[in-house]
Amino acid sequence: MKLHEFQAKEMLGRFGVPVPSGRVATSPAEARAAAEALGGRVVVKAQIHAGGRGKGGGVKLCDDPPAAEAAAGAMLGKPLVTHQTGPEGRVVQRVLVEEARSIERELYLGLLVDREARQVVLMASSEGGVEIEQVAAERPEAILKEWIDPVVGFMPYQANRLADGLGLDKAQTGALRKLGVKLYEAFLGCDASLVEINPLVVSEGGLLALDAKVNLDDNGLFRHGELAELRDRAEEDPRESRANDLDLSYVGLEGGIGCMVNGAGLAMATMDLVKLEGAEPANFLDVGGGITAERVAEAFRIILDDPRVEAILVNIFGGIVRCDVIAEGIVQATHDRGVEVPLVARLDGTNVDEGRRILDESALDITYAEDFADSASKVVAAIGGAR
Ligand code: GDP
Ligand code: MN
């Protein structure tokens, strides 16, 4: 789950991370009032779940409250396009109005889980404010890394080493020692998967988190009722919101072949085969084992309701989940509405005969495939071949 910048800063602030003072506004008048309360010179920042806002016109330095009002008016209710949003952009529902700070240097700090090392790694770079992915690709040596031992936490010597690499003075080094500890506490404390401060700025001698990006680990959300409430459905893919509510392993994609598969490995392989045949999947969906016909029906309705979907591929290898349960779910999902797009199914494994019988007795027009290479080529043929 992604947090907005203002939510991330509020959370980090509670852990003692220094952040600028600011207020959220949903109208130009509110932005003006916020600027007045903050002392006049402010930065108005569009709150969307995407970065690159600076370059896209979503971060405006304003000298006085009327300028803040105008900047908010130019952003609110309109789509903001950045390199991370795609061409259609994201509609800005809120802006964050913050006191403007003078910037001496822009640095980068990021914490994430290094799965290979099985530790949290703190990354730092003196090339802050720019796209860190680009720095990582072009000049990997410009990114410093410290792996944090879970037993002892972020150690002062690690901060010293980073500060040395970043060229910080003595006072700033002291600030980084404290900041590293607090960021790590925040990372663990909210079960984050990513905490990124880009830029971390040197301002009036101290360190300050000028931007903040926090992603939470969905698997840890049940421990954080107050954080779960920060979820912004308006920013989510509606297909994924729905799947999320149903606890399904679903990822929305941009292609036209809706896929219903059991098992993550088979689901990945199915998507690969669809691509190999020259088409694109509309989704990843692993219905998993131990699923009921009702939940299969819910999953199938998400695919049916997706306007991108031009054809559906059902690829089930019955094991823990039985083919008859899948067939019943498909019939339930379609009994009152039918299926308007071609439907290709490959069923094998447990109770395959019973599953076939249920589908054959339904009114559904199904093209059967024998194995899954065949199922991919049939479904792609059904949409008129490779694109
Ligand atoms: P992003 O582009 O979505 O990552 O948004 P950021 O919050 O990182 O802002 C982009 C850039 O705007 C920063 O790198 C800064 O250069 C600039 N900026 C943001 N806040 C301030 C501020 O308070 N003062 C000044 N001078 N510049 C700021
Ligand atoms: Mn940024």
Sign of torsion over alpha carbons 279, 280, 283, 284: positive
Indicate which CATH number applies to the domain containing 263: 3.40.50.261
Residues 259 and 350 reside in one and the same domain: yes
Domain closes at, from 99, 132, 162: 99
Cα(233) to centroid of ligand 1, in Å?
26
Same domain, 219 and 302: no
Ligand 1 neighbourhood includes 106 CB (under 6 angstroms): yes
Q: What's the confidence (pLDDT) of residue 247?
A: 84
Ligand number nearest CA of 107 is 1
- Residue 257's beta-bridge partner residues? 281, 311
Task: Give the pLDDT score at 290.
Answer: 83
**Same domain for 83 and 42:** yes
Q: Which residues of 49-72 are buried (b: 16+ CB within 10 A; e: fewer)?
A: bbbebeebebbbebeebebbbbbb
pLDDT of the residue at 234: 87
Q: Are residues 196 and 320 in the same domain?
A: no
User: How many angstroms does the Cα of residue 128 sit away from the middle of ligand 2?
Assistant: 8
Mean pLDDT of all residues in 363-378: 93
Interval 243-277: pLDDT, tens:
988 889 999 999 999 999 999 999 999 999 999 99
The pLDDT value recorded for residue 130 is 80
Residue with the smallest CA separation from ligand 1 atom 12 is: 54
How far apart, in Å, are the Cα atoms of 259 and each of 35, 293, 363? 50, 17, 21
State which of 38, 72, 99 marks the end of a domain.
99
Query: Among 45-54, 232-241, 306-315, where is mean pLDDT lowest?
Result: 232-241
Q: How far apart are CA 336 and CA 159, in angstroms?
A: 63
In a domain, 352, yes or no: yes
What are 145-204's pLDDT values in tens digits?
Answer: 999 999 999 999 999 999 999 999 999 999 999 999 999 999 999 999 999 999 999 998
Which ligand lies nearest to the CA atom of residue 82 in the structure? 1
Q: Is residue 129 part of a domain?
A: yes
Q: Does ligand 1 have an atom closer than 6 angstroms to the CB of 57?
A: no
Count of domains forming the chain = 3
Is 7 part of any domain? no
pTM value is 0.82
Tell me, in angstroms, the distance from the centre of ligand 2 to residue 40's CA: 23
Closest ligand to the CA of 43? 1
Q: Which of 5, 43, 59 to mutate to test the pocket of ligand 1 (most atoms within 8 A of CB)?
A: 59
60 and 46 within one domain? yes
CATH number at residue 40: 3.30.1490.20
Identify whether residues 111 and 215 lie together within a single domain: yes
Of 60, 81, 99, the last residue of a domain is 99
Query: What pLDDT score was predicted for residue 96?
Result: 98
> Is residue 127 in contact with ligand 1, taking CB distance under 6 Å?
no
Q: Do the domain assignments include residue 5?
A: no
Do the domain assignments include residue 34? yes
Position 133 scores a pLDDT of 87
Clarify whether residues 183 and 64 are in a common domain: no
For residue 12, being part of any structural domain is answered with no
Which residue range(s) make up the domain with 45? 21-99
pLDDT in tens, 299-330: 999 999 999 999 999 999 999 899 999 999 99
Q: Quick one: tokens of 83?
A: 């390199």
The single residue listed with the structure tokens 């980073």 is 162
The answer to whether residues 216 and 263 belong to one domain is: no
